[in-house]
Structure 1
Amino acid sequence: MTDLSAFPITQKWPARHPDLLQLYSLPTPNGVKVSIALEETGLPYEPHLVRFDANDQLSPAFLSLNPNNKIPAILDPHGPDGQPLALFESGAILVYLASKTGQLLPTDTARRFEALQWLMFQMGGVGPIFGQLGFFHKFAGKDYEDKRPRDRYVAESRRLLKVLDQHLAGREWLVGDEYGIADIATFPWVNNLIGFYGAGELVGYADFKHVDRVLQAFLARPAVQRGLKIPARD
């Protein structure tokens, strides 16, 4: 049996199955990227809920794995060269899981980099911008009298949706007909924008038919349906 006792995070979240990949997460758009990828690949794993309401992400145990105090993070007991690997940042984890399993990322070099460019598009644009819109529309920012910050993120969110919509015209997924980590990274955020954030009307989501077509195909996948609920909230 693998010994993970050298990793302080296992003191707060004990590994019942230390031979399995350990996932530390919460079912947010960033968190479910990894649970969905794990469900899609079939790689066995053990999920652990990181509770923001209890400030788990600020605990010394979690910071020992991710000093940036963000979810998700993983601890793979069977990393490169058979050594345990601790990893944070959802994009990096997606690339790692795809490389480890040989799934969800094209093997052709040109298409592989095409997939990575759309992954970076999500990491640098879709996630941060949609998240800021959520703050100004749903959370504390909604009480600000000055609506210019909100409107700035509305306009940028709409621009990003237009980029996606134009690209998806005539394509099944972001990289042609090949579903992969770029889709897994992007569509939880689109789903969150119109669902949890309730910003669909605000951004004119009805204008983006191709985005919605692909979102519905994404949500229909059994692995996505499972992954959206992992780790289960108490």
Structure 2
Amino acid sequence: MIDLYTWNTPNGRKISVALEEMGLPYKVHTVNISKNEQFEPAFLAISPNNRIPAIVDPDGPGGAPISVFESGAILLYLAEKTGKFLPRDTRGKVAVTEWLMWQMGGFGPMPGQVHHFLMQPEGPARDYGFKRYHTETKRLYGVLEKRLAGREYVATEGEPSIADFAILGWAWRHERHEVPFDDLPNVAAWYQRMMARPATARGFEVALS
């Protein structure tokens, strides 16, 4: 059984969704980041960057335990372990990896900054920071909208991939980003399609508080 160390954040939800979709048994260990539990030595031993999520798989390569931190790395590990949600052919794998890295490098850090500045006291610094990161976040949603034109999923046909799980974790917070789906019909349809999947829904319902 995989040990999942996580909290109720977009990055954390990526992994609970993936585990549910892949049908892997797992046990949740909450890491309350509001109480700085991510800095505890036991957690740092498996996640030296003091960020959730992280996993420990007791049945890792060669039957030996392995710990994995960083949500993108965890998704790739789980996909390789199960042979699910990541194409085996190089062309297909590249497409999924591209969109996974797109999420990790932009569609996560940018809306994360939107969250940060929205919580700051009103003033010039807040206004500047919010405008800068909100503009980039809307641009990224626009990229996703174009990508999903005529497509069911971001990088694959017929079923989602780990790229969809990664992107969905952040699209789940679109209201906090102050990005309505009114002008993003392709994103809205994809979002509804993903959330209608029973396993995905269970991944968002895992109790983490």
1:54 aligned onto 2:27: no
Q: Give the match for residue 190 of structure 2.
A: 214
Q: Over residues 9-61 of structure 1, what are the superposed CA-to-partner deviations in whole Å (9 max), with x where a residue is unaligned?
A: xxxxxxxxxxx111100121000111110000101111111112321101111
Aligned equivalents of 2:18 and 2:121: distance in 1?
33
Paired residues of 1:27 and 1:229 also in contact (CA < 8 A): no
**Contact (CA 8 Å) 2:96, 2:156: kept in 1 or not?**
no
**Alignment partner for residue 34 of structure 1, among 5, 15, 22?**
15
Deviation per residue, 1:184-205 (Å, 9 max, x gap): 00012012122xx16135xxx4
Q: Equivalent residue for 2:122?
A: 143
Cα distance in 2 for partners of 1:89, 1:184 equals 14
Q: CA RMSD in A?
A: 1.3
Q: Does structure 1 residue 117 correspond to structure 2 residue 117?
A: no
Aligned to 2:71: 90
Unaligned runs of 5+ in 2: none
Which amino acid in the other structure matches residue 167 of structure 1? R
Q: Which amino acid aligns with 1:171?
A: R
1:50-102 CA-to-partner distances (Å, cap 9, x unmatched) read 11232110111111111111000000001011110011000000000000000
Q: TM-score, normalised by structure 2?
A: 0.94
Count of residue correspondences = 207
Aligned to 1:180: 161
| Identity among equivalent pairs (%) | 45
- Aligned-partner Cα distance in 1 for 2:80–2:34: 34
Matches of 2:129 and 2:63 in 1, distance apart? Answer: 48
1:156 corresponding residue in structure 2 = 136
2:179 counterpart letter in structure 1 = G
- Aligned-partner Cα distance in 1 for 2:192–2:18: 17
Instruction: Describe the SS at the equivalent of 1:200.
Output: coil
Write out the 4+ residue segments of structure 1 that deviate beyond 4 Å after TM superposition.
none
Structure number, greater radius of gyration: 1
3-state SS in 1 of match to 2:172? helix
Distance in structure 2 (CA, Å) of the matches to 1:116 and 1:212: 23
- 1:135-187 deviations in whole A, cap 9, x for unaligned? 112x2x25333412111111101110111101100000001423110000001
**CA–CA distance in structure 1, aligned partners of residues 66 and 208 of structure 2:** 26
Question: How far apart are the structure 2 equivalents of 1:233 and 1:71?
Answer: 12
**Is 1:200 paired with 2:179?**
yes
Aligned partner (choices 129, 151, 158) of residue 171 of structure 1: 151
Q: Distance in 1 between matches of 2:80 and 2:121?
A: 41
3-state DSSP of counterpart to 2:107: helix
Structure 2: distance between partners of 1:142 and 1:160 = 26
Q: For 1:90 and 1:198, locate their aligned partners in 2 and report how far apart those are by CA, in whole Å.
A: 20
Unaligned runs of 5+ in 1: 1-19
For residue 233 of structure 1, what is the aligned residue in structure 2?
A: 208
Residues 135 and 142 in structure 1, CA contact (< 8 A), matched pair in contact too: no
